[in-house]
Amino acid sequence: MNFAHNRAFDVPDDDAAFERVAQFVMPDGESRVWNNAIMELGGVACGKTPQCDEAGCPWRRWCHAYETGDFTAPDVPTQPSFEGSRRQFRGRVIRVLGEYDELSLDELGPRVRVDYGGDTGEDWLRGLLSDLEGDELVSVAETQNGVVARLRE
């Protein structure tokens, strides 16, 4: 098991639990491809200190660690020091948008943080969305109803 397994799927450090998850997510007859992909993910992006954004990890949209900000793993029991809340909120934006076709900023903001407003209001959210657009994860458009955001196809 490598860090990517634990972080990406929220698998506890337990062989039986890992086996169950692997059975569930591994495509039938593709175990070799799957294992290679996980090894690659671990080598390129999800090492001891994960490089989620820096390496453009393709799993960010679905990753449990990216959403929650908890990047601990069995061999990395303490939170890596680089972790900042910005990444955590990026993950939340992605997760919330995954539940809707699109959302206006007024609809999205309060779903991303309960204290939406003030210094962490619309300008803050636009900044996050701009980063996510740059990473080609989200698209933002002006519509008759104002600015709306959605996940990129």
Cα distance between residue 102 and residue 146, in whole Å: 12
Q: How many alpha carbons lie under 13 Å from residue 96 in its C-beta half-sphere?
A: 19
Task: Please identify, using beta-carbon distances, which residue of 63 and 128 lies nearer to ligand SF4.
Answer: 63
- Closer of 106 and 152 to ligand SF4 (Cβ): 152
Q: Distance between CA 31 and CA 45 in Å, rounded?
A: 21
- Cα separation, 5 vs 109, in Å, equals 30
Kindly list the residues in this chain that would bind ligand SF4 in the complex (CB under 6 A). Answer: 4, 7-8, 41, 45-46, 50, 52, 57, 59-60, 63, 65-66, 71
- Closest distance of CB 59 from ligand SF4, Å: 4
In the complex, the smallest distance separating the C-beta of residue 146 from ligand SF4, rounded to whole angstroms, is 30
Q: State the DSSP H helix or E strand holding residue 23, giving kind and residue range, or none if neither.
A: helix 15-25
Distance set, CA 100 to CA 57, 94, 144, 151 (Å): 22, 10, 18, 9
19/40 with CB nearer ligand SF4 = 40
What's the closest the beta carbon of residue 45 comes to ligand SF4, in angstroms? 4
User: Given the complex with ligand SF4, which of 96 and 148 has the nearer CB atom?
Assistant: 96
We find the least distance from the C-beta atom of residue 44 to ligand SF4, in angstroms, to be: 8
Classify 26 as helix, strand or coil. coil
In sequence order, the 6+-apart residues with CB closer than 8 A to the CB of 119 are none
Least distance CB 9 / ligand SF4 (angstroms): 9
In the bound state with ligand SF4, the residue whose beta carbon lies nearer, of 60 and 108, is 60
